[in-house]
Amino acid sequence: MTRRLLACLITFGLVACATQPQSPSPPPEAATQPTGTPAALPPAASAMPAEAAPEAAAPTAPPVDLTPVPFETARANFVRDTAARYGIDPASIEATLAQAQFKDAIVAAMSRPAERVKPWNEYRPMFISQARINGGRAFLAQHRDELMRVQAATGVPAEVIVAIIGVETSYGANTGKYRVLDALYTLAFRYPRSGDPDKLEREVRRELFFRDELGQLFALAKEERLDIASLTGSYAGAMGLGQFMPSSYREFAVDGNGDGHRNLFSDYDDAFASIANYFVSKGGWVRGGQVAVPATLAAGHEEFNPADWTPRYTLAELSARGYHASAPVTAGATATPITLEASTGKQYWLGFQNYYAITRYNISKMYAMAVFQLSQAIAGQELPPA
């Protein structure tokens, strides 16, 4: 869960940093996602944006100082501000940062040019295969007791929790190979620059976002008594079975087994409960609610593509726009229309509050649909064609 980071599509250049002690609000793709790119995906797939997500456009944000700042100054400011913000000894921060290494591979991963946007029929197989379905069923069977306890407590179905872990880390088999310290240190102080003046503000904001995440990592280590230098994760700094960024770890992780720690790396009780808590607390998951149902668009009506995935439209409003559910829908439900480019043409769906909750994990409509359909397959339901 993060927040989940879309891979940046720019190349490495000179470091330019804002001078204010605290970073401004991160752009929405960072703020609404708990994780970095899924650690279980091959590099090309994980670096590729899932789609031109409507929510990727940044809202009006406070101005940011674009004046370049020397690395030594930016680093010293970071130590000072992190120590003051979280009550940590500056010498301890310095000692940890002395172990950090800039990694060209991380810069390269963030700079990798975008592939073309894949249609749904090409995107879904990256996440849903028979092997992944079988793996999910085996994982659910192995951890059924823990998962059912979380399902009973939160209302988030066990198969949805399992699908998230399957998509993010192949059920824990691939949680990332990079030291989290190196990933966040690299992106906090050497976030790649394209040299394009039109992209500079976004690049600076992204660097400041990662710098804040690096600070949050120190706070997390203090709270959970973690050895920062030993933590590994994705190239974006996401960690554990569910790939939480440090800020999401701090805000949404919970102690699922009552041992006094929130361990998302190897404690399944904590990981399952934390993923569910993210859906409930951040996404507003509705117990027993629907996720999505297929729909039709009546002839003579234009597609309706709202600016975000908020399910704010009544069924009557959607019907007036030509959208009709092809399966029973809970009375009084509100939804958002979803269009997917499938092998046989366009597919239409209606997404409800629980679909929106999955998009809080990753704002891609196709990611959310892949998680939903993988969960359905794990539960034994037949998948519609892609």
Digit-coded pLDDT (tens) for 23-63 = 333 333 333 456 666 787 654 444 333 343 444 444 567 88
pLDDT value at position 197?
94
**Token pair listed for 134:** 């079988």
pLDDT value at position 59?
54
Residues 126 and 151: their CA atoms lie apart, in Å, by 27
Q: What is the widest separation between alpha-carbon atoms in the chain?
A: 68
Do residues 169 and 132 lie in contact, with contact meaning Cβ atoms separated by under 8 Å? no
Q: What is the mean pLDDT of the chain?
A: 88
DSSP state at residue 76: H
Amino acid identity, position 366: M
The 10s digit of each residue's pLDDT in 167-212 is 999 999 999 999 999 999 999 999 999 999 999 999 999 999 999 9
Q: Is the pLDDT of residue 2 over 90?
A: no
pTM of the model: 0.86
pLDDT value at position 113?
76
The 10s digit of each residue's pLDDT in 312-329 is 999 999 999 999 999 999
SS3 163: helix
SS3 93: helix
The band of 117, judged by pLDDT with boundaries at 50, 70 and 90, is confident
28-44 core/surface letters (b: 16 or more CB in 10 A; e: else): bbbebbbbbbbbbbeee
28-116+176-251, which class in CATH? mainly alpha
Q: Is 168 a catalytic residue?
A: yes
Q: Which of 168, 203, 207, 213 is catalytic?
A: 168
DSSP element (H, E) containing 111: helix 104-111
Q: Is the pLDDT of residue 116 over 90?
A: no
